[in-house]
Copies of this chain bind each other. A is one copy, B any other.
């Protein structure tokens, strides 16, 4: 692990990159302790501030964790699925909010990915997953439910569908789609949507999964996509109209 003090890049960036490479390439393995800050200072011939900033960069990416005290230090962190989920959700949320992604594009991606779970979920969904879905459907039907709560329940429903596929890698990959895009869509469509219709489609999905019929699940998801898309376009059109004649 070496750095170039004459490089224009910040030293802390270079040090972080060097350590990251060592982790990714397997030179440093999970739970292994990194040298102490003082040792890293000596190794890279830099001040402690610089080493610390490099370590904070890595900590921000969940690559390491630090512990204070006598036997403390920085340790290579086992990246858990949970941490990866939440990172993906933040990244997806920002990506969508900062890049002018059209409603159509986000909607298309979200449902295409979710349909990919349908065949697996139809085979593997457990009673637990079905129970979660039914419970969320029931909650969605309760009068007086706020829009926020309905949206959260909506996310939980789709989450159960995705998790039903019993593939943690897919659940991770879809975290962004479900937990970042769904709220975004809800935010756009909540004024216009019919809860009844959504609940009916959710029920159809749950029924299809219970019957383990993948094509029907996919069909219901496609219909939900179509409905969401129509809603989105309606809202957009209304907004454009409002802007044109205020």
Q: Tell yes or no: A116 within 8 A of B by CB.
A: yes
Chain B residues with CB under 8 Å of A90's CB are 20, 24, 61
Tell me the A101-119 residues at the B interface (CB within 8 Å): 101, 105-106, 108-110, 112-113, 115-117, 119
Interface residues of chain A: helix, strand, loop or mixed (majority): helix
Q: Which range holds the interface residue count of chain A?
A: 35 or more
CB A24 to nearest CB in B, in angstroms, measures 6
- A167's partner among B56, B108, B165, B167 (CB-CB below 8 A) is B108
Does A97 touch B at the CB level, under 8 Å?
Answer: yes
Given A56-B57, A94-B24, A95-B84: A112 touches B105 (CB 8 Å cut-off): no
Q: Which of the 9-residue segments A132-140, A144-152, A172-180, A194-202 touches chain B?
A: A172-180
Residue from B58, B99, B167, B168 within 8 A of A79 (CB atoms): B99
Q: A26-B97, A94-B63 are in contact. Are A56 and B12 (CB under 8 A)?
A: yes
Q: A116-B112, A170-B112, A173-B173 given as contacts; is B105 within 8 A of A79 (CB)?
A: no
